[in-house]
């Protein structure tokens, strides 16, 4: 298509080139398929459809109802859920709606501490969750840097929460939903699993399905699920009305039906043998990446990963190197990452001692274990030679070679 607004479309073209020619290692990112992009960019954006399929406030929703119903049907089948709401505009909105459905302001909630990998919506004082509700945080042990279920149980007995939230943005290990269900039952709490990062791994069968255990499961569609940017809520049948009312009219106005149609496409894609292979390959790649980083003296928090995500402690590689500086250097070399605190990090979150890495995007681009080892070599070379422009140029060229062979949007 010839564009009239060349200024904006040239910006989009530059971003596409960036995605095609640099390495995307941010654990929460992925490359949506051309069909997901087509649905997200479709005429469904034009329609107002407040309400739910066959219960809309406006006329003309015959095809919108078909699309949203298809998304609901597909996601329920994919996860074995009793009820689904596909309208949340994002993961944060999905969590907000879940809280609105089951909590009163001031209610006590347990969630993972932010400095141990919890999300802002799990009780950060600068987030609505911490402002409206009374969150208490659990974390990982000092010894093995894994979730301490005994600590959750103790805290639950002490705090008597109305809700226990599990899920994380920076935890490389599997969170066991059956163990948290037991704790919730013991203290009479509801259990919400925030599967934002791992929904695609669950759909692909390489991570335990929390739908069996949790009263509510929320997730983002754009991380390992590889759909459009957005959120989804799954819940038990008895919470269906409360969840639907919380999303609309409780929290949102008109749903983003173009995005919901793109969610439907990604649920279709996730229900295939190819996606199972994809999910398994994400984890294999992450483990190969962890091993390769280990040979360069990077320390992996918790010793490795069971998922798509790696949390690298940079201090064993170079005590002086902060996460912030590493992110900047790697950006220059064409390697996109994000700084992240490690458990009990002495540095502030704006500086941090770690890097969070993930394999969902590079795996979508077709990379395998061999490429993970190449990437680890490139990272080590760039970070060692961080004050030498020639080294960074050489690494950038190596990254360009790799990306030329694995281009997400040719």
Please give the residue ranges that form the binding site for ligand PLP (CB under 6 A). 28, 90-92, 95, 119, 121, 167-169, 194, 196-197, 220, 231
Identify whether the C-beta of residue 199 lies closer than 8 Å to the C-beta of residue 206.
Answer: no
How far is 220 from 194, CA to CA, in rounded Å? 9
CA atoms within 13 A on the CB side of 88: 28
- Cα angle: 58, vertex 260, 127; to 5 degrees: 100
119 vs 162, beta carbon nearer ligand PLP: 119
Q: Closest Cα partner for 85 from 270, 208, 230, 268?
A: 230
How far is 184 from 174, CA to CA, in rounded Å? 18
Query: Active-site residue among 194, 269, 306, 371?
Result: 194
**Residue 229 is among the residues annotated as catalytic for this protein:** yes
61 vs 113, beta carbon nearer ligand PLP: 113
Smallest gap, in angstroms, from Cβ of residue 7 to ligand PLP? Answer: 28
Smallest gap, in angstroms, from Cβ of residue 91 to ligand PLP? Answer: 2
Smallest gap, in angstroms, from Cβ of residue 166 to ligand PLP? Answer: 9
**Residue 276 is among the residues annotated as catalytic for this protein:** no
Smallest gap, in angstroms, from Cβ of residue 122 to ligand PLP? Answer: 7
**Residue 50 is among the residues annotated as catalytic for this protein:** yes
How far is 71 from 283, CA to CA, in rounded Å? 27
23 vs 225, beta carbon nearer ligand PLP: 225
**Residue 220 is among the residues annotated as catalytic for this protein:** yes
Which is it for the CA torsion 127, 129, 132, 135, positive or negative? negative
How far is 351 from 320, CA to CA, in rounded Å? 12
**Residue 325 is among the residues annotated as catalytic for this protein:** no
Residue burial 354-383, b: 16+ Cβ < 10 Å; e: rest: bbbbbbbbbbbbebeeebbbebbbbbbbbb
Query: Active-site residue among 22, 220, 224, 364?
Result: 220
Smallest gap, in angstroms, from Cβ of residue 69 to ligand PLP? Answer: 23
Which residue's CB comes closest to ligand PLP? 91
27 vs 239, beta carbon nearer ligand PLP: 27
51 vs 111, beta carbon nearer ligand PLP: 111
Residue-level length of the chain: 410
Smallest gap, in angstroms, from Cβ of residue 195 to ligand PLP? Answer: 8
Encoded tokens for 106: 């001031």
Query: Active-site residue among 21, 29, 48, 384?
Result: 48
114 vs 292, beta carbon nearer ligand PLP: 114
How far is 158 from 164, CA to CA, in rounded Å? 13
The kind and range of the H/E element at 191 are strand 190-194
Query: Active-site residue among 47, 146, 182, 229?
Result: 229
30 vs 95, beta carbon nearer ligand PLP: 95
Smallest gap, in angstroms, from Cβ of residue 239 to ligand PLP? Answer: 19
**Residue 364 is among the residues annotated as catalytic for this protein:** no
Identify whether the C-beta of residue 212 lies closer than 8 Å to the C-beta of residue 80.
Answer: yes
Encoded tokens for 2: 């010839």
What's the CA dihedral at 74, 79, 83, 84 to 10 degrees? -60
Q: Catalytic amino acids?
A: 48, 50, 194, 220, 223, 229
């Amino acid at each position: 298509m010839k564009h009239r607004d060349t200024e904006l479309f040239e910006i989009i073209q530059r971003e596409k080139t960036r995605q095609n020619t640099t390495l995307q290692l941010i654990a929460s990112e992925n490359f949506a398929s051309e069909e997901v992009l087509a649905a997200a960019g479709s005429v469904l954006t034009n329609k107002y459809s407040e309400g739910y399929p066959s219960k809309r406030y406006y006329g003309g929703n015959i095809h919108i109802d078909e699309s949203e119903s298809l998304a609901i049907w597909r996601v329920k089948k994919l996860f074995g859920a009793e009820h689904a709401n596909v309208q949340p505009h994002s993961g944060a909105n999905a969590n907000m709606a879940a809280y609105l459905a089951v909590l009163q302001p001031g209610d006590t909630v347990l969630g993972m501490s932010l400095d141990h990998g919890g999300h802002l919506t799990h009780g950060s004082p600068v987030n609505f969750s911490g402002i409206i509700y009374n969150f208490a945080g659990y974390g990982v042990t000092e010894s093995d840097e894994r979730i301490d279920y005994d600590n959750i149980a103790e805290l639950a007995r002490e705090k008597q929460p109305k809700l226990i939230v599990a899920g994380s943005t920076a935890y490389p290990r599997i969170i066991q939903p059956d163990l948290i269900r037991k704790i919730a039952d013991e203290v009479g709490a509801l259990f919400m699993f925030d599967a934002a990062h791992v929904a695609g791994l669950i759909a692909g069968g390489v991570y335990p399905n929390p739908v069996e255990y949790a009263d509510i499961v929320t997730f983002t569609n754009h991380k390992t699920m590889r759909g459009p940017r957005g959120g989804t809520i799954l819940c038990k049948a008895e919470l269906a009305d409360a969840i639907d009312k919380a999303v609309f009219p409780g929290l949102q106005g008109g749903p983003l039906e173009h995005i919901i149609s793109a969610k439907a496409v990604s649920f279709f894609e996730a229900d295939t043998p190819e996606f199972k292979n994809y999910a398994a390959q994400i984890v294999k790649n992450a483990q190969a990446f962890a091993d390769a980083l280990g040979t360069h003296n990077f320390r992996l928090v918790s010793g490795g990963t069971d998922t798509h995500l790696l949390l690298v402690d940079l201090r064993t590689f170079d005590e002086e190197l902060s996460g912030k500086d590493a992110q900047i250097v790697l950006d220059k070399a064409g390697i996109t990452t994000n700084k992240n605190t490690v458990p009990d990090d002495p540095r502030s979150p704006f500086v941090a001692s770690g890097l969070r890495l993930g394999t969902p995007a590079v795996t979508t681009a077709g990379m395998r274990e061999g490429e993970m080892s190449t990437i680890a070599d490139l990272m080590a070379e760039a970070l060692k030679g961080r004050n030498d422009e020639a080294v960074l140029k050489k690494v950038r060229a190596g990254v360009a070679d790799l990306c030329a062979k694995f281009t997400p949007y040719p």
